[in-house]
């Protein structure tokens, strides 16, 4: 009860602060929901936490639009991401209707942007659920660990099959890091395959099932580029596929992908193995890395960043609701871990996007 009270007071204080900065009458930040002003929640803890999640996320959504991902990061963004942590670190978060609505609306927002965004320079990066990213350059769109959200173990939480299929339509290729269902979703993979788009995954993913022979299994070769045709052979990616691991022995692909424009992107899946620093420490000596998309809870994120030496880090795997609260990985913990980061970094929540321009001045934050 004591912890809950502290959370309530903290969130209330943040909301009062934001309301003061952006008076509702001038900004339209007031909720469009019909709210009963006479309602109270005495003896209705569940109703209380539902309404608190709703009030918080309504405000979060509006403030995120006002302060999109940027370098240097505005303080308001950090505050809003910590408000998201507060809501999502409730044990019951995945079943709260406000959380489900927030997730779905953020994903629909991303889809709308994907449908209309043409990239002239650099890359646009969308962050989706958990460690899912879509990265688009002027010629290709690459998906990483795209899932609907069934790892949350709550039926109302995942996005619809239709929404997932629409996202697939806007991608050319899918890279799956490893077998766990917060990273690998067979429905999504099959949608790529049915559209004639390659799905690259480790050998053990869906082994022994019909989809397995349709998966592309590239060689695990350190620092060596391999060709991967996409768009029915219309474009060629070059891929270095590093042999990563989650823990001792779960194979975890870590691809470093070079776009036709020469931009390079790496996503690490659930990389968490000390022996693998044998190659992680050297990636930046062999290749220039534009963007690193690491799991926020990897073994030693500062050492990983030093190894890849990327121009920008955007972390993933925060707030995976299928994990127990202590392993949901809040944004505040990512900020703690990135104190020693040698590269600029950005934190983003579901459905947000950032336009990476390699020639923009490098900002240390």
**What residue ranges bind Zn ion (CB under 5 A)?**
180, 182, 246, 270
Nearer to Zn ion, 166 or 315 (CB): 315
Nearer to Zn ion, 58 or 182 (CB): 182
- 221's tokens: 């070769």
- How far apart are CB 255 and Zn ion at their closest, in Å? 16
- How far apart are CB 270 and Zn ion at their closest, in Å? 3
- How far apart are CB 325 and Zn ion at their closest, in Å? 16
Using CB atoms within 10 A of its CB, is residue 82 exposed (0-12), middle (13-18) or buried (19+)? middle
Nearer to Zn ion, 264 or 295 (CB): 295
- How far apart are CB 178 and Zn ion at their closest, in Å? 6
- How far apart are CB 182 and Zn ion at their closest, in Å? 4
Nearer to Zn ion, 105 or 299 (CB): 299
- How far apart are CB 271 and Zn ion at their closest, in Å? 10
Nearer to Zn ion, 73 or 320 (CB): 320
Contacting residues for 191 by C-beta, under 8 A, at least 6 apart? 164, 165, 168
Nearer to Zn ion, 54 or 182 (CB): 182
């Amino acid at each position: 009860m004591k912890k809950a009270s502290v959370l309530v007071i903290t969130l209330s204080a943040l909301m009062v602060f934001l309301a003061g900065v952006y008076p509702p009458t001038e900004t339209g930040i007031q909720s469009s929901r019909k709210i009963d002003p006479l309602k109270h929640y005495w003896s209705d803890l569940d109703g209380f936490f539902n309404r608190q999640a709703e009030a918080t996320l309504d405000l979060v959504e509006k403030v995120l639009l006002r302060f999109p991902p940027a370098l240097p990061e505005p303080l308001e963004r950090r505050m809003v991401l910590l408000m998201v942590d507060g809501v999502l670190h409730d044990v019951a978060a995945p079943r709260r209707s406000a959380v489900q609505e927030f997730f779905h609306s953020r994903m629909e927002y991303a889809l709308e942007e994907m449908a209309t965004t043409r990239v002239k320079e650099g890359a646009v990066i969308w962050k989706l659920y958990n460690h899912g990213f879509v990265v688009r350059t002027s010629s290709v769109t690459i998906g990483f660990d795209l899932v609907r959200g069934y790892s949350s173990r709550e039926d109302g939480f995942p996005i619809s099959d239709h929404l997932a299929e629409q996202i697939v339509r806007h991608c050319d290729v899918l890279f799956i890091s490893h077998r766990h269902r917060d990273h690998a979703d067979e429905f999504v993979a099959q949608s790529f395959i049915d559209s004639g788009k390659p799905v690259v995954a480790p050998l053990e993913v869906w082994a022994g099932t019909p989809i397995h022979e349709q998966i592309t299994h590239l060689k695990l070769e350190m620092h060596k580029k391999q060709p991967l045709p996409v768009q029915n052979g219309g474009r060629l990616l070059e891929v270095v596929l590093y042999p990563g691991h989650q823990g001792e022995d779960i194979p975890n692909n870590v691809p470093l992908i070079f776009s036709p424009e020469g931009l390079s992107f790496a996503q690490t899946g659930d990389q968490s193995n000390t022996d693998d620093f044998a190659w992680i420490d050297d990636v930046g000596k062999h290749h220039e890395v534009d963007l690193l998309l690491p799991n926020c809870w990897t073994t030693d994120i500062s050492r990983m960043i030093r190894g890849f030496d990327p121009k920008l880090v955007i972390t993933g795997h925060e707030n995976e609701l299928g994990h127990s609260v202590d392993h949901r990985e809040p944004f505040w913990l990512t900020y703690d871990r990135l104190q020693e980061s040698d590269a600029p970094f950005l934190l983003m929540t579901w459905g947000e996007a950032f336009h990476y321009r390699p020639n923009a001045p490098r900002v240390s934050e």
